[in-house]
Amino acid sequence: MYSYGVHSKRKRGKFMKSVRKKLLTGGMAVLMLTFFCAVTVFAADGEAAEYVPKMYATFWALVPPIVAIVLALITKEVYSSLFIGILVGALFYSNFSFEGTVVHMIQEGFISVISDSYNVGILIFLVILGAVVCLMNKAGGSAAFGRWASVHIKTRIGAQLATIVLGVLIFIDDYFNCLTVGSVMRPITDKHQVSRAKLAYLIDATAAPVCIIAPISSWAAAVTGFVEGEDGFSIFLRAIPFNYYALLTILTMVLLVVLKVDYGSMRVHEDNALRGDIYTTPDRPYADAQDDVVEEKGGVIDLVFPILVLIGCCIIGMLYSGGFFSGVSFVEAFSASDASVGLMLGSFFAFVITVIFYALRRVLKFTDSMACIPDGFKAMVPAILILTPILLPIVQAIGMNPIQFGVIMVVNLAIGFVTPPIGVNLFVASSLTDVPVMQIAKKALPMIAFFLAALLLITFIPAISIGIL
């Protein structure tokens, strides 16, 4: 049953992996060669009033995104492909200057973007969304909805249409959409022998199109933030009828499902799914993945209520940021709203209400709810990416050297890795030595005291961190 073309697929898979590896290695080698062979072209007499790169508004301006997209399609490595695309763009911007490339990419690119208050609000919003998804899963809301849907959904078409409908209803954010719809609908589509490839397509092709036409979404917040000197929100609303990609994608998905139209590789996946193989690929990703233990007390309301509260709180948050509660009209408040602040406030209060709701229903303990916060962090954004944009503006305001801040941050994180009871390094050491975690933690406490003393010295004596500069 699972042997359909396995041998040939394995050969093709090994060949493609080899090709992708060679292409990625070759691309990195060319870029590094360009990097080190580039000549510094900064003028000694100072910068011009407004720097305009030579490749501005030319065909070459399209090369960086094309490089990123092509590499992502070939290598299936999104992060490295995006980084190489950014690197190419920085090279073009600096006219192939080594110094200019590094400065522009790091300082004017990464640091300026993640230290912007607007972007920080969006990051906090996304992290809270991750925590909300974790809450719903642990409370059993997603599982309960899955059980309800299993009773009421009888066909493969019904399972696929339910995936689309649920994706359309969860329009607040595409990440939140994917995490929620994926965890809820995966057991149902597996039961009706829908391939994982088809499920992934339905989730992905619903999440982004819905979010880019929804006025109350992280996409709307991000897009309106790029419009300077204009009413970005009003422009976003007027552009919705002309967003043919989003509208036609949703319509096309429904037609493909109802008419049972599959072609190309998707047809191969679906044919194999009907024979019992919902994965098709030889490596069978996530075939042995274990779902998190959830509470059996949860009901459908434990999924529906947080989503409704989240949408409602985000709408209220945007109205608040636009001055609605200060006497501004509803339409004017929406138009003048700060989407970053509104979504951040709305998601925060939605999280608090959800925690209280689960506690009152006794489906999730308060301690378990709090455990969802770090899980939300891990699901959305790494710790450094969160802490840096939040704290960097503060340390800049008090005049702290950014190098000293970086050293303090790294040392803090390192101490956290060995601090009981959840220090990651303690569990690693325990697994390697077969010594209980708490026994190692007891012996580590005196050393942690020395670590804290060193941290205080680094914090209050800047020369220790920056004295070598």
3-state SS, the chain, equals: CCCCCHHHHHHHHHHHHHHHHHHHHHHHHHHHHHHHHCCCCCCCCCCCCCCCCCCCCCHHHHHHHHHHHHHHHHHCCHHHHHHHHHHHHHHHHCCCCHHHHHHHHHHHHHHHHHCCHHHHHHHHHHHHHHHHHHHHHHHCHHHHHHHHHHHHCCCHHHHHHHHHHHHHHCCCCHHHHHHHHHHHHHHHHHHCCCCHHHHHHHHHHHHHHHHCCCCCCHHHHHHHHCCCCCCHHHHHHHHHHHCHHHHHHHHHHHHHHHCCCCCCHHHHHHHHHHCCCCCCCCCCCCCCCCCCCCCCCCCCHHHHHHHHHHHHHHHHHHHHHCCHHHCCCHHHHHHHCCHHHHHHHHHHHHHHHHHHHHHHHCCCCHHHHHHHHHHHHHHHCCHHHHHHHHHHHHHHHCCCCHHHHHHHHHHHHHHHHCCCCCCHHHHHHHHHHCCCHHHHHHHHHHHHHHHHHHHHHHHHCCHHHHCCC
**Rounded CA separation 268/275 (Å):** 11
Structure confidence at residue 356 (pLDDT):
93
Residue with tokens 């899955």: 146
- Whole-number pLDDT of residue 44: 38
CA distance 278 to 270: 8
Q: What are the pLDDT tens digits along the chain (469 aa)? A: 444 444 454 555 555 556 555 555 555 544 444 444 443 333 334 444 567 777 777 778 788 888 888 887 788 776 788 788 888 888 888 888 887 788 877 777 677 766 777 677 777 777 788 888 888 888 888 788 878 887 888 899 999 999 999 888 888 777 778 878 888 888 889 889 999 889 988 998 898 889 888 887 767 766 666 666 666 677 788 888 888 888 888 999 999 999 999 988 889 889 999 988 888 877 665 565 555 555 567 788 988 899 899 889 988 988 888 888 888 887 777 767 777 788 889 889 999 999 999 999 888 888 888 888 877 666 665 444 545 554 555 555 556 666 666 667 667 666 766 666 556 566 656 655 666 766 777 777 777 777 777 777 777 777 766 654 4
- Kindly give, in sequence order, each residue whose CB lies less than 8 Å from that of residue 296, ignoring residues fewer than 6 positions away: 140
**What contacts 19, CB < 8 A, 6 or more positions away?**
74
Q: What is the pTM of this model?
A: 0.59
Look at residue 424 in the predicted model and tell me its pLDDT.
56
Q: How far apart are the first and last CA of the chain?
A: 65
Residues in the chain: 469
Tell me if the bond preceding 393 is cis, omega within 30° of 0.
no
Tell me the three-class secondary structure of 254-305, residue by residue. Answer: HHHHHCCCCCCHHHHHHHHHHCCCCCCCCCCCCCCCCCCCCCCCCCCHHHHH
**pLDDT value of residue 33:** 43
pLDDT at 43 (0 to 100):
37
Q: What's the CA gap between 221 and 240, in Å, rounded? A: 14
**Cβ pair 262, 254 in contact under 8 A:** no
Residue 171's nearest CA partner among 134, 219, 214 is: 214
Q: How far apart are the C-alpha atoms of 314 and 214, rounded to whole Å?
A: 12
pLDDT at 93: 83
The pLDDT value recorded for residue 251 is 92
Q: How crowded is residue 425: how many other Cβ atoms within 10 Å of its Cβ?
A: 14
